[in-house]
Every structure is written in C-alpha cells, then in structure tokens.
Amino acid sequence: MTALGFNGDQGPAATRKGILEDSPMRWITRREFMKRSAVATAASLSMAGLRPAWGAETRFSGTMKRTLGRCGVQCSLLGMGTGTQAWNGSSAQNRKGRKAFVSLIEHAHASGVTYFDLADMYGAHDYMKDAMKNTVKREDVLLLTKTVSRDPTLIKADLERFRRELDTDYIDVVLLHCLTEPGWTEKLKPCMDALADAKSKGLIRAHGCSCHNFGAMETAADSPWTDVLLARINPFGIKMDAKNLTPDGKTKEVLNEQEVLDVVAVLKRARDNGVGVLGMKIAGEGAAKDRIPESLQFVLSSGVVDALNIGVLDPGEINANLEYVDRVRVA
C-alpha cells in the first residue's frame, strides 16, 4: 500500500469497482479515490522538492502566452485537443459533423485559445483548414500535428500531405506520435533527421514526440533533438506512464503516488534541458472529467508544463476549461 491509501497495481477491475484499503477494510468510490490521490500527490510534490518556489501568489489564464522551451514557439496555456476517442482518422470531434467541429475550433479561437492539438490519426486537418478559411487567422495559431510513420521517406510524404490538408506553407510543431520504446533515438534516427531537415527548410518550426512509455519519455527529456515533448500527466495516475510494469508485464491502469512523482521529475528534467513540455490526459482520458479543476491545480502548480491540451466536444467545455484555469492559485 502507498501513502495515498491505495494500491496502483490493482488493475482494471479495481479502478472500476473501487480501491480496497487496508484499514478499515472497505471499498471507496472512484470519486473519493481520485480526490485523495490529488490532495496527497500535490502534498508529496512539495515535499519531494519537485514543485518550484513560486514566491508570491501566482495566477494563470488559459489564454496567456507561453513559450515552448528553447525552440521559442509560443501558444496559449490551454490548448484544444481534437483526438477524443480517436483512431484511424476518426474522432469524437469529427463524428459530430463538419459544421459542429469547425464551429468548435472557431469558438476556441474566439475565446483566446491559440494552441490546436491535431494528428493524422485524428482526421482533424481538413476541419482546421476550414476554420482557417473562415474566422481563424493562420498567423494567430499554433498548429501541432503528429505522424505515426516510422520511415523517413514516409515522414517527408506526410509533411507534404499535412501542409496540403491544412493549406499552409509551414506547420509549427510536428511530433513522432506515440513512442513506446526507450531506444527510439537509435531506431528512429532517420526519421529524426527527416524532421530536422524539414525544420532547416522552414517547413516546420519545431519537432519532437508524444510518449506512451516511461523509458521513451526519459529518452525524450534528455535528447538534444527534442524541441517539444507531449506527455501524459494528472494527479490521479490514470492513463499515465509508469516507471515499472505490473508483475505480469502489463501497463498499469492506475499509477501510485510515487509513480506520478516519477513522471513529474522526468518532465522537470525535460524543462530544465530546454524542452518545451506539453501536458495531455489531464482528465485521464475522460475517467476524471469531473475533476478537471483538481487536475489543473496539480499540473500547473507542479511547474513542469509550458502548456496543456484538453479534448472538448462543445463550446461549453471550452468555456469551463478556461474558467478552471483562471481559478488556479499557487502560493
């Protein structure tokens, strides 16, 4: 058992039904479990020396301008995620229909959001293009997209197609999507070189990766090639990257307190190395969607992300997320 009063190794059944405590022997609800997790992990963050010394009370705004590390690319603190329940070109966003999705992008932009998190696998490019034909000015937004290609020739073809689909001369940030191996810098060196070449030609402004493995994330944090790292972070340990797998070699469904702090430490190291760090899975892929304010309080007070994105399906969610960011206070 951990100091949080739960065992992060319980697996899917435990997260569905509750977590069994040692004393007294009882089941607690997911809501209670997540609330305890957020509070305890935030306290541990401070004790572990991972939380920065903010000094006077710090406030945040979802529309405030943030700089992504040494690459210098800027965007709003809050980004719009476009990959909810997404795969193979389909997402909850584009399944709502073209008019609704394009209007959602326009609403986010009108509200001050300038960071749009896209991906080839999300099927979002064409909708973003339509929004930029309407009210969204290209020069006002950061376009981040991702490629799942693992061959340099395919990477180059992807970049040409992405720019055509978005109807833009350049893309701000392009990431290698969903890295899961610690040794990716050796295996994917030709792909990295292809993106670096595109950057030198002005086709993209920055390159990096999104990680779904702790070792891959560590490698990204330490690699001088990484301009931008997109990583999973929330105080609940849901849908994050555990330092260790379960005894049977599987990915953990819920991280324990120390494992959440391990992720924070890696992201701190990345920022210290000049990497622009973006946070995702703030709501634990929807499992903690009713606890977004707690998650934002933890993530922003940790001081390890430059910006973050949350997937949204309607204008009200954008408005709510902006309000939640405004509520964050760090003493």
pLDDT digits (tens, 9 = 90+) for 12-50: 333 323 322 232 323 334 455 455 555 555 566 655 666
Query: Is a pLDDT exceeding 50 seen at residue 286?
Result: yes
Sorted by sequence, the CB contacts under 8 Å of residue 185 that are 6+ apart come out as: 192, 219, 223, 225
Query: Is a pLDDT exceeding 80 seen at residue 188?
Result: yes
What pLDDT, on the 0 to 100 scale, is given for residue 55? 56
What pLDDT, on the 0 to 100 scale, is given for residue 56? 64
Sorted by sequence, the CB contacts under 8 Å of residue 282 that are 6+ apart come out as: 233, 234, 292, 295, 296, 299, 308, 309, 310
Q: Does domain 57-330 have CATH number 3.40.50.720?
A: no
Query: Is a pLDDT exceeding 80 seen at residue 139?
Result: yes
Burial class of 29 by CB neighbour count within 10 A (0 to 12, 13 to 18, 19+): exposed
What pLDDT, on the 0 to 100 scale, is given for residue 36? 55
What pLDDT, on the 0 to 100 scale, is given for residue 20? 26
What pLDDT, on the 0 to 100 scale, is given for residue 250? 83
Query: Is a pLDDT exceeding 90 seen at residue 303?
Result: yes
Return d(Cα 303, Cα 275) in angstroms, integer. 13
Return d(Cα 132, Cα 140) in angstroms, integer. 10
Q: Is 278 in contact with 309 (CB distance < 8 Å)?
A: yes
Share of the chain above pLDDT 90, in %: 79
What pLDDT, on the 0 to 100 scale, is given for residue 276? 99
Q: What is the mean pLDDT of residues 279-299?
A: 98
Greater confidence (42 vs 187) lies with: 187
pLDDT per residue over 244-284, tens digit each?
888 887 888 899 999 999 999 999 999 999 999 999 999 99
Average model confidence (pLDDT) across the chain:
89
